[in-house]
A and B are shown apart, each in its own frame.
Chain A
Amino acid sequence: MSDTNAANPLVSARGLCKGYGKGRARVEVLRGLDLHVNKGEFLAVMGPSGCGKSTLLHVLGLMTAPDAGSVCFDGVAAPARAGGRTAIRRDRIGFVFQRFNLIGVLSARANVAISLRVRGRRDDGLAGELFERLGLSEVAARKPGQLSIGEQQRVAVVRALAHRPDLLLADEPTGNLDSANATGLLDVFREINRQGQTIVMITHSPEAAQAAGRIVCMRDGKLFDHNP
């Protein structure tokens, strides 16, 4: 199981169940899943397409409630009140969506800026630094529709990191990147991880997973330690 090192978990999920649909059309995606992510850990989640990795990340990101089971954040059960969960999302989590989910009417830079504003944070220069490091300075003024998929993906990463979250949840952040860009991104991840930020990253790429300190695999709605 994956909770061998549960000394100081930032997020811990116990007995998570989550399915979609009703009656005969119902699919059970998470089936009693347990996961503990320690503070300062860099965890990679792998697994076949459609096995429920994104679903798990949404549950961990407190964006959707599990049908059963519990999620604790920093030792406290996720609040039942929507406002409480919102506060954790706002202040402590950064999320990179598999489909980026940038706001189409805003420029790349404004997408990051509004995320900071939503969180009540001031721009301390990190966003600009990340734009630069990820090779986005030239395109920061463009709207998402005028960016390549890979560029959009990196903008989504900047947005998730600009407020220095305690926990970064990234859904296949290198999925659309060439190897040079992927390496650059993973360097950033490793660096912020060294500085103490916790990362959960979904990936299909074994090379990307190597950047993580621990790899888990998802099968049948549960997680297993990865045995290479």
Chain B
Amino acid sequence: MLWPLFRFLFHKVPRKPRIVEVSGTLQNDTVLTKQDFLIFKEHEQLWAVSRNCTHLGCRINYIEKENHLECPCHQSRFSIQGKVLRGPADKALPRYAVEPTESPSTYLVTIS
């Protein structure tokens, strides 16, 4: 009885990769803030970084003045590419691919 319960509780159903459609307008050097990620555009390049802090999971914010990301829980800092600039976090933020669609204000973000 214990073993099945143990297996049951410890099983994690893997998450499927999600493709999220987001709308909003992005020009060069701008950012689009969504609940789980931020989309950046620089030199015609598009990318998204997760907003889940790699320290303990709080939702990080983009600080426009300094052009970096900061976590409100313990003030870890990240570059807009997701690299750690200041701890306690020590892992970079996951980056997701972003693709433009035919409509100019819609993008597809693949969350893996």
Tell whether A pairs with B.
no
Residues in A lying within 8 Å of B, measured CB to CB = none
